[in-house]
A and B are shown apart, each in its own frame.
Chain A
Amino acid sequence: MSNDTTSRQSWWQRIAHPGQFVAWTTPLLMPLAILTAVLFVVGLWFAFFNSPEDYQMGDTVRIMYVHVPNAWLSQFVYAVITVSALGTLVWRHPLADVSMKAAVPLGALFTALALFTGALWGRPTWGTFWEWDGRMTSTLVLLFIYLGIIALWRAFDDQLRAARVVAVFTLVGAINIPIIKFSVDWWSTLHQPASVFVPGGPRMPLSIQIPLFLMFFAFTFLFLVLHLKAMHTEIKRRRVMTLQRKLAQRATP
């Protein structure tokens, strides 16, 4: 392909080529990783040494700085795989199912951590680790959906066929995201309603907002770095599978 042809390609076409996507995004990894590490160091310092106690919850408010980012990512990652699923089914983008496959285990991890930190925050705050209410139950369902998607990927040898089945399953599972979001408004629950992204701004003082947003961005950038790296690995894994197939065909008389 000549330089002239390359320059005429749109960014969409250029990132559609797995090799070019890896070449484009590899230089981003190190700066993003450094930014993530800095955000974590500063965020943890604010969380433990600069954040005041909450007037009701006391020091347990510090659990919020890891709970809220993980809860946010549990849903954000699902939004990412939903868009990737559309990319697979509608646009047939070659990287959409790579993105989907790389993001799912990370989404499962963040959801499990949201449930874990939520349980540890719930015990001293509500007096119980777990309650079968709308928010907690729908988040547990989200974890099962993630695990189901991982199981589906592993059930197929043909990754392109798996991608279409997983994409349909992902789109059906997306119905759970608005249920999680509005569960605190629809049903009686121990969980507090939205208090960060609300009209009129966050309902908390700046001294609590600063560590919360630092940790929020630290975890979000952590996801972006890990997702990019996992996508690079998945692209290489597919190349490995193609080469193994070619070698096997050549070896067959």
Chain B
Amino acid sequence: MIDLGPHAVFIIWAYIGVLISVFDVIAWTLFDARATARQLATLEACNPRQRRPETAA
């Protein structure tokens, strides 16, 4: 590891804070996307109007 000098603690905490936040926002975006897609799939499955005419007939 490179020597970050006498103010290393400020540099390290800045990067740790950014890293945690970026990781969290990516995780939340993916979680929200999957949860919403799952909810939509469930609703479309139980909504009769979503059936195509040939399958509904």
Spell out A's residues near B (CB within 8 Å): 48-49, 53, 58-60, 62-63, 66-67, 70, 105-106, 109, 112-113, 116-117, 120-121, 123-124, 222, 226, 229-230, 232-233, 236-237, 239-240, 243-244, 246-247
Contacts and interface: CB of A to CB of B under 8 A. Distances in A.
Interface size bracket, B side:
20 to 34
Interface of B: 2-8, 10-11, 13-15, 17-18, 21-22, 25-26, 29-30, 32-33, 36-37, 39-40, 43-44, 46-47, 49
A230 B35 CA distance: 12
Chain A binding surface SS class = helix
A117 B14 CA distance: 5
Contacts of A232: 33
Contacts of B39: 240
Contacts of A229: 29-30, 33
Contacts of B44: 243
18 contacts: A48-B2, A58-B5, A59-B4, A66-B14, A116-B18, A120-B14, A222-B22, A226-B26, A229-B30, A232-B33, A233-B29, A233-B33, A233-B37, A237-B36, A239-B40, A240-B36, A240-B43, A247-B43
